[in-house]
Structures are given as C-alpha cells and as structure tokens.
Chains A and B, each alone.
Chain A
Amino acid sequence: MISTNSFRKFKPIIFLTIIAPSVLWSFQLINGSLGVNPIEKLMDNLGEMGLRLIIATLLISSLSEFKKLRFLVDIRRMIGLFAFFYVSCHFLTYIALDHFFDLNFIIKDIIKRPFITFGFISFVFLIPLVITSPKKMIKKLGYKVWKKIHYLIYPAALLSSLHFFMLVRANKFEPAIYIFIIIVLLLYRLYYKVIVPRLAQ
C-alpha cells in the first residue's frame, strides 16, 4: 500500500508531466511546427487536455473512496487546477488567436452556438471551484457547503464533453467515451451517497 507521505514525493513529477504539454505546444506554436493550421491545433489540444484532466479529477474522487487508493486524493487539487489552467488557455486561444478579441462576434457566438454555450458554461462552473480550492476555504465555508460547491464539477464535466461531442463531425467515439465515463461515475456516486443511505434507513 502506498502511503500519502511516500506518494507526495511523486508530486513534482506529476506536476511536470502535466505542465509539459503546454510548454511543448507553446514552443511548437512559436516554432511553426504545430502543423498547417496551428491555432486550431493548439485550441483542440488544450481543450482535449482540459477535458481529460477534468475527468481525471472525477476518477480520483471515486477511486480514493477505496482505502488502498486514498493517497490519490492528495493530487486531486493539483490536477483540478491544471484542468482549469488548460481550459482557460483553450478559451483564451479562442478569444485571442482564433477571433482576435472580436468581442462582438465572440459574444454572439457564445449565445448562438449551443456547443460554444456549453463550453462557456462549463468554464464558468469551474471558476468557483478554483476560488474555493485552498484548504483554508474548506474551513471557512464548512466542509458541507464546500462539497456542495464542488459538485459543480459534474455538470462542468458533462457540458464540456458535450461541447466536444457536438464539435466533431463524424467520429464521435472519443467524446462518447468521456460522456460514458462521466455518467458511470455520476451514477456510482448517486448510488453510494443517495441510494445506499436510504436503503440503510
């Protein structure tokens, strides 16, 4: 069994592994080796990474319920913050590089296109999670309130995978897998948090 303490030693490695792609892509963007349509490529890479990290935090939450995997919860905050980092970069790329701060167009785009609306709402949902991420905030808010706020990760995850699902033209396999994972994890949670206690009563 891995103890939380021994796992901590791995934290810097995990940190570097997760930050590495963004460094690589920035370098490639400047370098011109991000393909023929670099802005689109960068935006896709960042968004996909953000979504994968969001799902990773959900997996961690569920897996860390098992005693043997308890140590995982220690990196959840870091991964969650990285998810927000990638999602923000994704959104910024859309604003700054894809549409060059054409706010008039961007606002219309967000309202008019359901897939962009979903992506945007998902981004907004992540903000309170980031604000309440320091340990101090748990104390300040109380664990129950804090936890309720953090359930926002489920709609955020669902909306961002729908955002991906609606964007792709033909092969919806990858986004479908994400949606499937999220729903399974959500049902698992509901089962243990809502149904099991009721049955016990």
Chain B
Amino acid sequence: MSSNSQTLTPQATPDVGGLAPVAEGRRRGRPPAEPAAGQGRKKSLMARIRRDKVMLLLIAPGFLYFVVFHYVPLAGNIIAFLDYKPYLGFVDSVWVGLDNFAAMFQDGAFWEALRNTLVITGLQLALFFPVPICLALLLNSIVSNRIRKFVQSVVYLPHFIGWVIIVAVFSEVLGATGAVPHLLESLGLQRFDAMTTPEFFPFLVTIQSIWKDAGWGTIIFLAALMNVDQELYEAAAVDGANARHRLWHITLPGIMPVIILLLILNLGSILSVGFEQIVLQRDNVGPGAGEVLDTYVYFHGIQDGQWGPAAAVGLVKGIVGLILVLGANKLAHLFGQEGVYSNGKSK
C-alpha cells in the first residue's frame, strides 16, 4: 500500500528509532569519533564549522533537495484554503477559508473514493498480509539451500517490475483473450474480463499486489524465522513434539512480534493504495469502483482544474495518514517493539 508514487522502498523498514546519536553511542559502546586533536565539544561554533566545512558542503545538495521538493511543497498545501486560479497564483487567489473542506464533505465522489480506498486496503490486509508469512514458512522449511535460493530469486523478481509492465502483463493473462478466461471457459464456467469488471476491481488490485510484492515481503519474515532459537526445536523434538507441534508452539510464537509489528504498521497506512497501480487502471472500470483518494486528487485537481477542493482532500488524507502512522508506531511501542517509522510503503 503506498501513497507516494515516487519512492522505491523495499519491504524492510529502517530502524530509525535507533538513529539518535546518543542511543547510537551507547549501543555501539564506542566513543564518538572525535577529531584527531580530541578537543571535542569545547571548540567554539566557528571552529567546529571550520572543522566540518567539507562535511557540511557534502550535505548541502541533499538538504537543499529535501527542502525544495518536500518541505516547500508542504507549505504549498495552503492552496487548500484558496480559490486557486493558476493565472492568479498563490498571492492573488481569493482566500476562502474552510469552504473547500465543506465542499469536500458534500461531494459524493469524495465519499465514494474514501469507500473504495478502504475496501481495497481492507482486502489487501485480509488477503495479502498472510501470504508472505505462509511463503516464508514454506521457504524456511526447505532443507536444500539451492532450491530455496532458486525459489527466492523467482519470487523476488516481480518486485522490480514497474506497474505499467505489470498491468500490461495482467491484461495479457487475465484480459479478454488471455489464458485465464480460456481456462474458465474450458472448465465450463462463465468467462469474464477480470480487467474491466468493476465488482472484481478490488480483488484484481490485490492479486496484482500479491504477485508483485508477496515474495519480496518474505525477506523480513525469513530473517525473523532464522532467528528463532534452534535449541528450542531440538529440545522439543527430544521431548516428542512433532513438526506440527513445533510450528504451533515454537515457530509462530517466535515470529509473532514481527507479525504484530507489521500488522500495526499496515493499519497505519490504510488510506494509501498504490497510486501508480490504480491510476493506470481506474478508467478500465470507471471512477465508481476505481477512484481512490489519491486518484481523486489527481483527476479533480490537476485534470479538471479544481485545485483548491482537490488539495483539501489531499491535505486531509495526508494529515489523517500521518496521525495513523504515528499512532501505529505508538501502538508498536506499547507492544514492546522498537519504534520503526515506516513511510507507509510496507507492501
């Protein structure tokens, strides 16, 4: 589930919680790297700037990028309070207060987009989420290293294929002339075009997500599985526990913290569906089934020129999404997990 079409992020989330310099120094048990002179904190600010000038110069382009393309546009959300006209610009457009937000709540298309978003993310949570876990359990039970690595390579590959290609590939297989309708017909069932049936759309999107990312999603669970104490298995086996007992009483409790953590983080991103994936296929099924919040903003704002109202929807979605992610992180803390900030792209 992703809101941001522009970043490519693998499943594993970085351990941002541990990045604070203090925590780092403590955990790594190593004194902070001081300059050779060893004068450290007592240096004056100017002296430190002089010492760090190369480092600061190296940071500058990246810092500038984040400011220009993330923070300044963030301030641009002010447009949600304007009756924005491109030819008037930000300064001369009329300030309308909360009118755009009021319009949003009265717009049936907005509620439809919200409903579609929740249906799709809910379905993904129910159908997608368990797949990487089961796949990881299966892979983990393979004794042969070579077979396991081969299967891993095969299931990781689709993660790197872009949505345009994936939609084209799915049209070829599920579309009117594809293999699946042929198969359905030969089984005596009614053939239908999975790409253009509105009722099927949430399932179609979920199936595509599973095909693309379920394999990649196993990485985090495989690592967790490898870490379950092997001596527990041995002791249990000696005591007569069979494979099913061991799975139920050792493996699953062992990886449960990771499962709960990822579940919470996914709950935090229920307002975000893969934008690129949906925007490519929305017109196949029409906005009634295919419009989600992100595509609503795009089509109503940039395509139809209703800048203010669409920006209001985008802003509300962004704020609620941020609260959900932060809340999810808090919840993960309560479950005893180290804070893991996700950018909502854990699928």
Q: Do A and B come from one complex?
A: no
Which residues of B does A touch, CB under 8 Å? Answer: none
